[in-house]
Amino acid sequence: MEELYTLEKEVGRGSYGVVFEGHMAKTGQRVAIKRLPCSSPECIELYLQELWAMRATAKNHVNVIVLHSCLLQTGPRSLKPLKPGKLPLRLVESVLKGSVVGAQQSQERSNSQSNTQRKNKSVSRLKDRSNTVQARAKLQEKSKSNASDSLTPQRPQNRARKRPAQREEEEPGPLYCLALWLVMEYCDGGDLNQYLLSRPPDAQRNHSVVRQLCSAVAFLHSLGITHRDLKPDNVLVCVTPKGPVVKVADFGLSKMTEGLVGGDLTRQHFSSTCGSDFYMAPEVWGGLPYTAQADIFSLGVLFWAVLERITFVEEGTTQEQLGAYVCKGRSGWLMPLGEALCENADLQLCIPMKFKRAPPLPPPPGPATCTLLLDMLASNPDARPLAEQLEARVCSALKKDSH
């Protein structure tokens, strides 16, 4: 690793891996390096999905995180760069077989080696005892011989013969893959939560973030990529003199579809329930087949939260997060929008929010923007705008409301 990259410090940790800040050894360019331990087939499948999606996006869109390279770790200090377009076949085999390929064989080899070492030690101890007895007998014979023939030159007993150094047999390294290392562009503004909530509200900045995210998702959907986990944590920010540049990241739950029927991603259905509670679409909450339009609902939650600066603190955490929700009961229990719409498809959402929130607050979104948000958050996926239409509709709504 030191020959290619230098690890500086840990900057993030999630359910599946750790992210470090680092530098390229040759150029000094700052990068983010993500280590994904290959401990189970389920984790490996997510890693391969992320790698495949990031390779597909390449460096073709300013609002999608850039993957510089991928390294495969097969030993404590053994890293092998993966060639573009190539997948580590042993990891693919692990996913197909449902067990980490090579791990069992490596454990058996390790056990066999330790058993052999124990046997060798016991045999060695037996030999040592035998050699000690023989050596004493020979020493006694030599002393007798020396006494009878004092003229024969003798080698001093305390001088050892020079022996050639024993060559250690090189054991083959473990066959299984220990980890994948993804080297990506570094975003100095942190994630969208950290960036926006650490600054006073700014309508122009919020509008820029919303437009950039529309462009990124339209690009992903045009490639047949459904992200399936759009949320502020998975949007990174690069700070520039002209303003924030947002980057959609973390493609571990994404799905790629090739050979779309008429180029329409909405005809491809998924069934696995995945994502984050406060951003999941109602059809995902209900366990129904869903399409890429689930991404549009997640964007709707995110846009509403960004434009009105709506935050919550999830149970078990202390960090404030951007996200819209529904308040239930007198206690004001927070319920994810998708879950609420799953229970009641006719639920009327109040945009902008009616109840008072803590200042400072940005100006509320105008009528055209509110209408667009309601369309994005429709309980019926077919009523939501397509990603390719979204950017134009956002720009139009913001322009209307500015007048």
Catalytic residue numbers read 229
Spatial separation of the C-alpha atoms in residues 389 and 387, rounded to whole Å? 5
Spatial separation of the C-alpha atoms in residues 209 and 204, rounded to whole Å? 9
**Three-class DSSP category at 19:** strand
DSSP bridge partners of 237? 246
Is 34 within 8 Å of 17 (Cβ atoms)?
yes
Is 239 within 8 Å of 261 (Cβ atoms)?
no
Q: Is the peptide bond before 88 cis (omega within 30 degrees of 0)?
A: no
Phi, psi of 311 (to 5 degrees): -130, 165
Angle between helices 293-308 and 387-402 (to 10 degrees): 20
Task: List alpha helices for 223-346, DSSP H.
Answer: 282-285, 293-308, 337-343
Is 248 within 8 Å of 217 (Cβ atoms)?
yes
Spatial separation of the C-alpha atoms in residues 376 and 129, rounded to whole Å? 84
Q: Whats the size of the chain, residue-wise?
A: 403
Spatial separation of the C-alpha atoms in residues 120 and 113, rounded to whole Å? 10
The alpha-carbon radius of gyration of the chain (Å, integer) is: 32
CB atoms within 10 A of CB 55: 17
Q: Which of 242, 295, 245, 231 is nearest to 65 (CA)?
A: 245
Spatial separation of the C-alpha atoms in residues 267 and 224, rounded to whole Å? 11
C-alpha separations of 390 from 120, 317, 395 in Å? 72, 33, 9
Spatial separation of the C-alpha atoms in residues 330 and 200, rounded to whole Å? 31
Ranges assigned E (strand) in 29-166: 30-37, 67-75, 78-81
Q: What angle do CA 332, 235, 197 make, to 5 degrees?
A: 50
